[in-house]
Structure 1
Amino acid sequence: MNFEHILFHIDSGVATLRLNRPKQLNSFNLKMHGEVREALKQVRQSAEVRALLLTGEGRGFCAGQDLDDRNVAPGAEMPDLGESIEQHYNPLIRQLRDLPMPVICAVNGVAAGAGANIAFACDLVLAARSASFIQAFCKIGLVPDSGGTWTLPRLVGMARAKALAMLGERISAEQAERWGMIWRCVDDEALQDEALELARHLATQPTTGLALIKRALNASAGNTFDQQLDLERDLQRLAGRTEDYREGVGAFKEKRTATFKGC
């Protein structure tokens, strides 16, 4: 499938999805939503893909919603933003969180509004030193969406989450790393290479086990301790029946490098 607003390819077990509306700082319109949704569908269905790398083209990662794609002119009927979230942003966030593989995000520039929260929905986030994160919703009278009101308190605590959401201050990549919002801040020129190296490494690992780790951690916020213990038991049962577990134990005993197949 030919895409207009994203760049998408698969190589060495890694699917790379690059948002490609650089003049608009990769902000989302309806067509880009559809293309991202289709690419993520291909990622999930492909037996070849074992890790996803999400990044942006140009000087920004994603500025959230393209406001030019909405009509809020005086006298015009106001759009139903809840419908937009239900039809587009919520499915996108759910697709990213539910992918049975590691999702790496390389934030190459500003990540604002939904763009910031899309990054936070990924598993491992690297950001260029010049990148920044902004909960810009309050600047136009809106509420953080794309999971932001759930993710932010869990990343930085309620006090900082409220300040970020109500003040809309720009947070540098270095500060985001210090606060635990992202995994790592790296030099601009090293970002793409480091992110791709990380994705390629993860694609060689026991990715079924990694998917189960992701599933357990994502479930932990809504579980009691006893429920989480039961979930760990159930997921460990699944992990212990994989060929990768057999290979990992065999490689350990034979003192050789394991060759994992993701199954």
Structure 2
Amino acid sequence: MTDAPVLIDRLADSTGAVAIVTLNRPDRRNALTVDLKEALVAALAEVAGDESVRAVVLAGSGPAFCVGQDLGEHAAALDADATTAFDTVAAHYAPIVTSLATMPKPVVAAVNGTCVGAGLGFALACDLRVFAAGTTLGTAFSAIGLTCDSGLAGTLPRAVGEAKARELVLLGRNFTPEEAVGWGISGEIVPAEEVLAAATKIATRLAAGPTLAYAESKRLLASGIDRPLADTLAAEGDAQARCGRTQDHAGAVRAFLDRDRPTFSGR
């Protein structure tokens, strides 16, 4: 296997391509160094801009998904200049999470093992998740005297409610996939050896679907909770009109009337 910090694999069939973006520091449980973060920013930009890619899987190599920031590198950055040690939040973490959350195609997190700190933020920024049974999840920040990054201050309370989010962040206790699903962090739970296959199966199904409509839905859902109802209704109307002008919509209506299965091309 290549020693590149991030790998991109494309699986293509007649319905379009699925890109698998893999964090590739298995010996360090995919702890995030500057090299890995920069490579991930670039990889996500590449698959987001590739029109042949219709769905994305975010995975981790080895036994962990991502344990968050590489603390050895972080300690060195603090020693060098504590005033710049956190520039990485704006330079790397924010672009990564923004790309995952706003990419105009579905993203599935294949959480194959330990997923804490920024790793949890990345997983929650994805649209769907598959968890390995027995995986350790956690916020982790308070244990090292820090607060949230990677969007967790927004995605976690949206998923589990404000009270539970406060508990998970302030107490910093780890939790299981079963607890996560019970609290509202949606996700399928499968044996560890089946995580990537299960996530890829979901992504392949999504890649065959109406990707333009998925993109509109992601935008609507991202702001729908915080927006006044009148604004949401107006945004839905605009989005429906855009979808209604696509070949995908017209073809699906014809297929429905002909009692046939629709084929979506992303146009």
Is TM (by shorter chain) over 0.5? yes
1:8 aligns with 2:8: yes
Map of 1:173-192 to 2, 5 A cutoff?
173-192=177-196
Where does residue 225 of structure 1 map in the other structure? Answer: 229
Q: Which of 51, 70, 75 in structure 2 is aligned with 1:71?
A: 75
Is residue 2:243 matched to residue 1:244?
no
Q: Name which of 127, 133, 152 aligns with 1:129.
A: 133
- Say whether the 8 Å CA contact 1:19–1:55 is kept in structure 2: yes
Question: Which sections of structure 2, spanning at least 5 residues, go unmatched?
Answer: none
How far has the Cα of 1:183 moved from its partner?
2.1
Aligned to 1:164: 168
Q: Is the 8 A contact 1:64 1:112 kept in 2?
A: yes
Moved more, 233-242 or 214-223: 214-223
| Per-residue deviation, residues 1-37 of structure 1 (Å, max 9, x unmatched) | x871112111221000011101111011111111111
1:214 is aligned to 2:233: no
Structure 1 unaligned runs (5+)? none
Cross-structure match for 1:197? 201
Counterparts of 1:86 and 1:76, CA distance in 2: 19
Q: CA contact under 8 A between 1:127 and 1:182: conserved in structure 2?
A: no
Over residues 68-96 of structure 1, what are the superposed CA-to-partner deviations in whole Å (9 max), with x where a residue is unaligned? 11235997542534421111100111111
Q: Which residue is equivalent to 1:38? A: 42
Partner of 2:56: 52
Distance, in Å, in 2 between the alignment partners of 1:16 and 1:154 is 26
Q: Report which stretch shifted further, 57-66 or 81-90.
A: 81-90
* RMSD of equivalent CA atoms: 1.6
The residue number in structure 2 matching 1:114 is 118
Q: Superposed, which structure 2 residues align to 1:15-34 within 5 Å?
A: 15-34=19-38
Q: Is the 8 A contact 2:77 2:85 kept in 1?
A: no
Distance 1:246 1:175 in 2: 42
Kindly indicate whether the alpha-carbon contact (under 8 Å) linking 2:19 and 2:57 is maintained by their aligned counterparts in 1: yes
Evaluate the alpha carbon distance shift between residue 185 and residue 35 of structure 1 in structure 2; reply closer, same or farther with a 3 A threshold.
Answer: same
Q: Which amino acid aligns with 1:173?
A: P
TM-score under structure 1 normalisation? 0.95
Distance, in Å, in 2 between the alignment partners of 1:16 and 1:244 is 25
Letter in 1 for 2:212: T
The percentage of counterpart residues that share the same residue type is 36
3-state SS in 1 of match to 2:206: helix
Q: Secondary structure at the match of 2:53?
A: coil
Separation in 2 of the partners of 1:3 and 1:123?
Answer: 28
Contact 2:113–2:192 (CA<8 Å) still a contact in 1? no
Q: 1:166 to 1:193 in 2, by over 3 A?
A: same
When structure 1 is superposed on structure 2, of 163-172 and 221-230 the one drifting more is 221-230
**1:72 and 1:79 in contact (8 A); partners too:** no
CA separation in 2, counterparts of 1:226 and 1:92? 31
1:181 is matched by which residue type in structure 2?
Answer: I
**1:9 partner amino acid:** D
Count, aligned residues: 262
> Conserved in 2, the CA contact under 8 Å of 1:3 and 1:35?
no
Q: Which residue of the partner structure matches residue 253 of structure 1?
A: 257
